[in-house]
Structure 1
Amino acid sequence: MKDLLFAYILRLADDAAILGQRLGEWCGHAPTLEEDIGLANVALDHIGQARALYSYAGEVEGKGRDEDQLCFLRKEREFSNCLLVEQPNGDFAETIARQFFFSAFMLPFWEKMKASKDETLAAIAAKAEKEAAYHLRHSAEWVIRLGDGTEESRERMQDAIELLWPFTGELFEADDTVKVLVAEGVAVDPASIRDEWRETVGKVFGQATLEMPEEGWAQTGGRSGMHTEHFGHLLTEMQYMQRAYPGLKW
């Protein structure tokens, strides 16, 4: 059971850390000063979640690894984040679509996680829920603004949705690790979130005059360490300091 819990916490931490890294790449490059600060704040929220989760994962593992070692000294195939969060920033619409899809999932996820029998995960969820609510509101407002804006902004937003839609299916996958922990009252069954996620996405798309793609083939593999070509480049930058100067602390 300890190994399953460790693996589960680790994938949640990886999701948060990788998305935080991606959003951090916008620092100094966002379209407006306000959005530069806004994206940086969302990135810091995810990094804060990652730190709490990595620290707890290290405690559960019991092998002396801390947050720095788990985040910055693991290899590509050892990461179990979903493929959605590692996708490149692209243009601003792609970044917003990625954040919107993820936040629409994570808000109900953290709400349900507050009832976990694992007290530490429940405590992390209580704080993360408030952050996810802001992340969803922020990204949804931008989806509507771009979708219901100019002809070009709507086209870019729709293109971003079509590009990233195949990566959303993985959010709802439940492997044996998840199934066992759900049965124990520790984990959240992702399938229980699908209807709420689709309702949220559909409502925002309606306001944004955007079309929801049809269900179809979905990209998968991130949970088992099979990542896209972009991931290695991301890790090279994210892990440089700790690998070049061993012993540094987050």
Structure 2
Amino acid sequence: MRPLVSQPLIDYCIAQGDDALIFGQRMTEWCYSAPFLEEDLALANVALDLIGRAQMFYQYAAELADDGRSADDIAFLRDARSYTNLLINELPRGDFAFSMARFLLVDTFNVLYLEQLVNSSDSRIAAIAAKAIKESRYHLRRSRDWVVRLGDGTEESHQRMQKGLEEVWGYHKELFIETAGERELIASGVAVDREALYSTWSKQIDTVLAEATLQRPEDGWKVVGGRDGIHTEHLGHMLSEMQYLQRSYPGVEW
């Protein structure tokens, strides 16, 4: 059953798309730079999974809005302040340990979230979640294995993994913050109560960190603002590269 079209629903689909697109775009930076060829290919496939997920959400948002915009328009023809992705997704690539720490935090959340989103009262969103959950479970297996491998590896890999975890930790809080529009959709069964996922997420993260012999960072700082269009300087630099072709040659198609 498809609910009545509302602005919160359109905004929600765009936000989900933004999270996937920006994270996927950031992960493409590992192409030809990963530690070895197999990992290079694996990260490229993860990036493609995320970008494909973004396309599905953007396409649905375009159909709901029915204002002449296509999925490509939503993806490529907005300024930075119009993007509503969470900040953890736009941070620079960093080294491999930092990327795996970020993957672990985000992948763990995504699996928990999508496992519930498949029951959305909006059949289109439920279908997107049903496809995405299969991908996210694979993503989580990879990031979990790498965090354990690096954390419980050599002295250098352990130190770099701990450092990467501490650098990204303050951004995870935003994963569990709900907008007013999102709360409306939760009440109607469309979206998932992300705040309620924190306890389970926290326990799962602690389990992985214990196996990886890593210390859970202190919760003394957090950075938020992505859903309100308040971003780090890094997003603008990314968009200038990502949007170059579309803005230079408007309407171009493959």
Please list the CA deviations of residues 133-160 of structure 1 after superposition, one character each: whole Å capped at 9, or x if unmatched: 0000000000000000011101000001
**Counterpart among 203, 210, 217 of residue 213 in structure 1:** 217
Shift of 1:239: 0.6
The 8 Å contact of residues 68 and 249 in structure 1, kept in 2 or not, is answered as no
**Match status 1:226 vs 2:245:** no
1:2 to 2, 6, 15: 6
Q: Following TM superposition, by how much is the alpha carbon of 1:130 offset from its aligned partner in structure 2, in angstroms?
A: 0.4
2:40 to 26, 33, 36: 36
1:83-162 alignment to 2 at 5 Å? 83-162=87-166
Q: Is the 8 A contact 1:83 1:167 kept in 2?
A: yes
Could you give the per-residue CA deviations for residues 147-183 of structure 1, whole angstroms, max 9, x where no partner exists? Answer: 0001110100000110000000000001201111100
- 1:213 Cα deviation from its structure 2 partner: 1.2
Q: Hey, which bits of structure 1, 4+ residues long, moved more than 4 A?
A: none
Aligned match of 2:175 in 171, 177, 181? 171
Cα deviation, residue 214, structure 1: 2.2
Match of 2:62 in 1: 58
Q: CA deviation at 1:193?
A: 1.1
What is the root-mean-square deviation in Å for CA atoms of aligned residues? Answer: 0.9
Q: Which moved more, 1:215-224 or 1:45-54?
A: 215-224
Deviation of the 1:9 alpha carbon? 0.7
User: Any unmatched runs of 5+ in structure 1?
Assistant: none
Matched, 1:77 2:81: yes
Distance 2:132 2:20 in 1: 11
Query: What is the 5 A alignment of 1:177-216?
Result: 177-216=181-220
Determine the C-alpha separation between the residues in 2 that align with 1:93 and 1:222.
24
SS across alignment from 2:182: helix
Cα distance between partner residues in 1 of 2:14 and 2:54: 9
Structure 1 residue matching 2:75: 3-state secondary structure: helix
Q: Unpaired runs of 5+ in structure 2?
A: none
Amino acid at match of 1:53: F
Deviation at 1:196, TM superposition (A): 1.5
Question: How far did 1:104 drift?
Answer: 0.5
| TM-score normalised by length of structure 2 | 0.97
SS of the residue corresponding to residue 170 of structure 2 reads: helix
